[in-house]
Amino acid sequence: MTRPAEHGTLDPRVLCAGILVGDLFVPPLPRLPTAGELLLTGDFLLETGGCAANVAVALSKLGVGSRVVGRVGHDAFGDFVCSALAEHGVDVSFIGRSETLGTSKTVIVPVVGEDRRYIHTLGANADLTERDFGPEAMSGVEVVYLGGYLVLPGLHPGAVIALFEAAHRAGARTLLDVVLPGGAEASMDDLRSILPSVDFFLPNCDEASQLTGERDPERQAAIFNEAGAETAIITMGSGGSLVRTATYTRQFTAPSVDVVDGSGAGDAFTAGLIVGILEGWPLERSVGFASRAGALACTALGCTDGISDRQQVSAMAGQDR
């Protein structure tokens, strides 16, 4: 049975494509258990995850409708991902089912005072290909977002370029995010042909460092701009973000919050930025709103539970209403 949308049905203005995951969160631990030790904790949290799902859910909470293009398996996790997104009013009619692979899953293990640890299986995300994108998926959208590129082996650069060029022909803006698992090798060669079709490129500082070989965020952003990205935004966690275009560079500070779990902060940032794009706000206002959305995502266990609605994000600065 289809359950009613928690936030009402919203007309999709954004296409969120990319990785879809069933996330299992362990509550923040005082320490990791030793070998053979049973460490008691509070209840685990099962949520939708992956860039495409996280951005779509955050957008719904911020009052923006979206549709998701991605792949899940024929399993309970796939059923959960689709039903949970539908509860948030997200259009899930373009989520496909892999015939051979199970739904992607991640176990997230946070330890107090340390960064999170992730254990991940790629699963059905490997089956996402250009065949999952058709004219119907693009219908009526004003923003096209692709998240998790570089862990989507079925999407070759030509397919991404075709998607973004179709978006531009339809008058939509394009955003690209990447994911680089530990031990993965990646470089600018993986992005050079794609970035001229990207309006906003949104790597975090670790990803940007690996791609460019540079440690300075401003130099990282400059390389992405020179390769064709119109706006490069390097997110740096508590260090804020660095925004650069061909004519503009600014570093933004991150709002101060009590951090419970940083998972999904980058995706919430992206959702906040999309709100600004849709509203036609200046870049500074859009990034400020995005920064507050990203910070709020850190205040609760899970990727989006720290965000309640747009008014909550706006209230952090008393503006952007």
For the chain, give every domain's residue range: 14-31+44-305
pLDDT band at 3 (very low <50, low <70, confident <90, very high): very low
pLDDT in tens, 48-73: 999 999 999 999 999 999 999 999 99
Measured CA angle at 146 (ends 143, 151), to 5 deg = 175
With bands split at pLDDT 50, 70 and 90, how would you rate the model's confidence at 320? very low
- Which residue, 96, 17, 11, 10, is CA-closest to 50? 17
Q: How confident is the model at residue 318 (pLDDT cuts 50, 70, 90)?
A: low
Above 70 in pLDDT, residue 4? no
| Average pLDDT taken over every residue of the chain | 93
Q: Distance between CA atoms of 169 and 159, rounded to whole angstroms? A: 15
115-147 confidence digits (pLDDT tens): 889 999 999 999 999 999 988 999 999 999 999
Superfamily of domain 14-31+44-305: Ribokinase (3.40.1190.20)
CA distances, 170 to each of 107, 188, 233, 306 (Å)? 38, 28, 24, 34
Question: Whose CA is closest to 62, among 270, 280, 283?
Answer: 270
Q: What is the mean pLDDT of residues 72-97?
A: 97
What band does 5 get if pLDDT is binned at 50, 70 and 90?
A: very low
pLDDT recorded at residue 321 = 44
- Cα-Cα-Cα-Cα torsion 225, 247, 176, 138, nearest 10 degrees, comes to -120
